[in-house]
Structure formats: C-alpha cells, structure tokens
Amino acid sequence: MTQSHASVSSMTLDQQVAYLMQGTEYGDEDLRRAMERELRERLEESQRTGRPLRVYLGVDPRTSDLHLGHVVPMRKLRQFQELGHTAIFLIGSFTSLIGDPSDKEKARRLMSFDEVMANAKTYTDQAFRILDPEKTVIDYNHRWLGELKFGDLIHLASHFTVQQFLARETFRKRYDKGDPIFLHEFFYPLMQGYDAVALKADVQIGGTDQMFNIIVAGRKLQEAHGQKPQIGILLPLLPGTDGVRKMSKSLGNHIPLETTPEDMYGKLMSLPDQVMGTYMRLLTRWTPEEIARLEADLEAGRLHPRDLKMRIAREIVDMLFGPEAARRAEEHFVRVFQKRDLPEEMPEYPYRPDQPLVDLLVDAGLVKSKSEARRMIEQRAVRFNGRVLEGFQTTLPGPGVLQVGKRRFLRLVASEKAPSAG
C-alpha cells in the first residue's frame, strides 16, 4: 500500500485539503479551522492561476544526529511537493547560531557558523531520502538575515511587545523562577518571522512548539511587509519507542536514520499498539482514506495489530531505504524474531513501566549489579522482543520478552503491584 504520485495528482480539492491537514495539531479548534479554510482558499487560487504555492520547512542543524522525529515535517513538505507546489528546504544557517528557545528551559549554546554548515550537509543528505532532489529548493537564511542592519531589527521588533514573549510558557517559567532570559533569545522569532517575508511563503511547516514563531511572528511580519500571511501547518512531536515521551536521543527512545533497514524495522515493531495511528498519519505515504480503512479493519478484528504494525514498519523502511531493503528487513525480522527458538518456560516479572533499564535488570535478577547491567547494555547484549536496547535510562513500552546474552530470558508482565526498586 504505497501512495503513488499518480493517485495524489488526481485528488479532488477536498482530498488535497484532507491529505495536507492529516496529522496536524493546533491545540485550538478555531485556529485549526481557520488554517484549513485559508489552505483551501490558497489551493483554489493556485488551481485558478496556475501558480504553485511556495511551501517551506526551516531546519536548524544544531546536531547531526537525525531520527524519525525529524522526518515528520519533511514528509509533510513532500506531500505539497507531490501536489505540484514549490518545496523549499530552508537551512537555518543564521537562526542556528542562537537556537530556538521555544521548547527549552534555559538558553541554548551559541554555535559557530562552521559548526552549523557542517551539520547542514547531514540534513540535506538525509532530506533527499524523503524529498525529490530534482524539485527541492535548498536555501540558507544567512543570505538575508546576515544583511539586516540594526535599524531593520528595530523595525521588526516594533511589531511585538515584551508581554507577548513573556506570555510564552518557557519564558514565563524561567521568569517566575528567576532564571535568566537573555535578550538575544527574543531575536529568534523575529528572524524566523522574517524568513517567511524573505521567501514570500504561502505555507510554513513546523512542530507545535513553533506556534508563536509561525502563526504570530511570521504572519504579523508578512502583513507588515504587504504580503498575504502564510498558512501554518503544525505537526505534533513524534512519540518515541516508549509510546509516551517525544522521540529523543537523550531519552534513548529514538529510531535513528543512520542505521540499517533491519534495525529500523525491528525498532518499529517494538512500538506500543496505541501509537500506530500516530505513526501512520505522521510518517507513512498513505492517504486519510487508506488509514481509515486500516483502522476500521483493526477495530472490526479483520486485521491483527501485529500485522498492521508490520505494514507500518515495511512502509517506513520502504520509504527511506527502498522496497528491496524493506522486503529483506521484514524477512530478517520474521526469521530471527518471530521464528527463533525461545524457552517454553521462563520466569515472569511484574515490571514498572517507568523503571529505568539498569534498575530493571538488577531487580529482576538478570544481572548481579548495576555495573554488570551497564556493561551488558554497552555490549548490545540486552534485547527486548528481539530488539537491541540502548541507553541506561531506557524504559520499556509494555509486556514482552527481555533477554540478556544468549541464555537469560524473562517474560515481563504488567502489574499494578510491581516490586519497588531495591
């Protein structure tokens, strides 16, 4: 079930709007309806005039470690691209120097231009696994932000109040606690808003944490410069393999892009059932109608959750590595994890979902000490349902088989009265 360009290009206007709004999240129904209405109007105008929409995704390459969470907005940009619109992949070569404070409780480290540009190479290489390189415009915002004069900054800042910035949750928390808020952090929304002006953007794609930068700063500055305000397509942060917290390398619940197809497939198969809908809407090439049919089959018992998860894993690996790699990854998973010999009898352990992996291994008696637990994890000798576990603080998403080395097995079972950490 792979979405073809032909079927996308033949979509009606209603289908296009549903496809492009799929997976979006605004936290406010009135705002969602307003953005959907403006998107429909802009698409109608595009069809009438023949002018493709200018749609951009800005990324700040402050790290080179990309994971599936980074793919979510790239997939949305690809959807606009499939419908014939101009896809702009904007490298935040100037905004990265400061870093977005939107979801941070302290100021980010200032980076050098050379650091940013080195990471940017990784981003563009990875982006072209999702975007069509022949139809993608790559741009860098140092081209215009680096040319602004101090008078320009005064003019941009005159459209905002300090109260607007302090009302933002991260700034408000820091202000209430007496933690420092540096003046240069206020520049970030101004710079991102000016990106929309410089690009003459019709649509900007970003995470829900970008609400202020896209909906407030970007639209306000465009109106101030005589432009029609952009439409914000906001997407939720992808949950990690624990199914709860946002995907993050530091939390040990991420699925890296720089891995093998087999490893990615296995990690996707370890996802809790409750996030399958989110992954379908945010990462696959499937249309709303296709996803609705799958969920109806699942609800009616015509489709087993394991089989749906295998379809999702195959689709995502196919998208990133190609169909042959996806086929081999699925065969590897079936051969190694579904058909492998497991002991008929193994001890059971009622675990706590919030229990860090190191503590779990010790408390369950699979290792004798925390130092041994850390050593086994570092040696990639700890598996959950066949997937290698990484990160000492990793938590497990649900019941399953925990394995240490070749001979130590434990069946984890959910329990409200799990033993406390010892």
Tens of pLDDT, residue by residue over 343-362, are 656 788 887 778 889 988 99
Q: Which pLDDT belongs to residue 392?
A: 80
What rounded mean pLDDT belongs to the chain?
87
Separation between Cα atoms, residue 155 and residue 310, nearest integer Å:
54
Separation between Cα atoms, residue 85 and residue 45, nearest integer Å:
12
Confidence of residue 113 (pLDDT cuts 50, 70, 90): confident
Q: Which pLDDT belongs to residue 51?
A: 97
SS3 218: helix
pLDDT greater than 90 at residue 71: yes
CA 369 and chain centroid, separation:
36
User: Mean per-residue pLDDT for 261-282?
Assistant: 92
Separation between Cα atoms, residue 98 and residue 377, nearest integer Å:
35
Q: Which pLDDT belongs to residue 77?
A: 97
Taking residue 358's Cβ as centre, other Cβ atoms within 10 Å add up to 22
Separation between Cα atoms, residue 58 and residue 88, nearest integer Å:
8
Separation between Cα atoms, residue 417 and residue 420, nearest integer Å:
9
pLDDT greater than 70 at residue 86: yes
SS3 323: helix
Name the residue with higher pLDDT: 177 or 108. 177
**Are 267 and 241 contacting, i.e. CB atoms less than 8 angstroms apart?**
yes
Confidence of residue 13 (pLDDT cuts 50, 70, 90): very high
SS3 345: coil
Confidence of residue 3 (pLDDT cuts 50, 70, 90): very low
- Give 305-344 pLDDT, tens digit per residue: 889 999 999 999 999 999 999 999 998 888 776 656 566 5
Residues in the chain: 422
Strand order in the sheet with 54-59: 136-140, 86-91, 54-59, 203-207, 231-235
Output the CA–CA distances (angstroms, integers) from residue 37 to 44, 97, 234, in the order listed: 11, 35, 15
Confidence of residue 96 (pLDDT cuts 50, 70, 90): confident
**Are 39 and 79 contacting, i.e. CB atoms less than 8 angstroms apart?**
no
pLDDT greater than 60 at residue 290: yes
User: Mean per-residue pLDDT for 111-123?
Assistant: 81
Domain 5-235, CATH 3.40.50.620 — does that match? yes
CATH 3.10.290.10 in the chain: give the residue spans: 348-414
Beta strands, E only, 249-392: 348-351, 382-384, 387-388
- Give 408-417 pLDDT, tens digit per residue: 888 887 654 4
**Are 396 and 402 contacting, i.e. CB atoms less than 8 angstroms apart?**
yes
Global confidence as pTM: 0.75
Q: Which pLDDT belongs to residue 340?
A: 61
Q: Which pLDDT belongs to residue 420?
A: 42
User: Mean per-residue pLDDT for 189-196?
Assistant: 94
Percent of the chain at pLDDT above 70? 91
pLDDT greater than 50 at residue 301: yes
Taking residue 129's Cβ as centre, other Cβ atoms within 10 Å add up to 15
- Give 225-258 pLDDT, tens digit per residue: 999 999 999 999 999 988 888 888 777 788 988 8
* Burial class of residue 153 (count of CB atoms within 10 Å of its CB; 0-12, 13-18, 19+): middle
User: Mean per-residue pLDDT for 42-49?
Assistant: 96
- Give 144-160 pLDDT, tens digit per residue: 999 999 999 999 999 99
pLDDT greater than 50 at residue 421: no
Report the topology of domain 261-338. Tyrosyl-Transfer RNA Synthetase (1.10.240)
pLDDT greater than 60 at residue 5: no
CATH 1.10.240.10 in the chain: give the residue spans: 261-338
- Give 369-413 pLDDT, tens digit per residue: 999 999 999 888 898 877 788 888 888 777 778 889 877 888 887
Q: Which pLDDT belongs to residue 418?
A: 43
Q: Which pLDDT belongs to residue 417?
A: 45
Angle, nearest 10°, between helix axes 323-333 and 305-321? Answer: 140
Which CATH number, 3.90.1150.10, 2.60.40.10, 3.10.290.10, 1.20.1090.10, labels domain 348-414? 3.10.290.10
Q: Which pLDDT belongs to residue 320?
A: 95
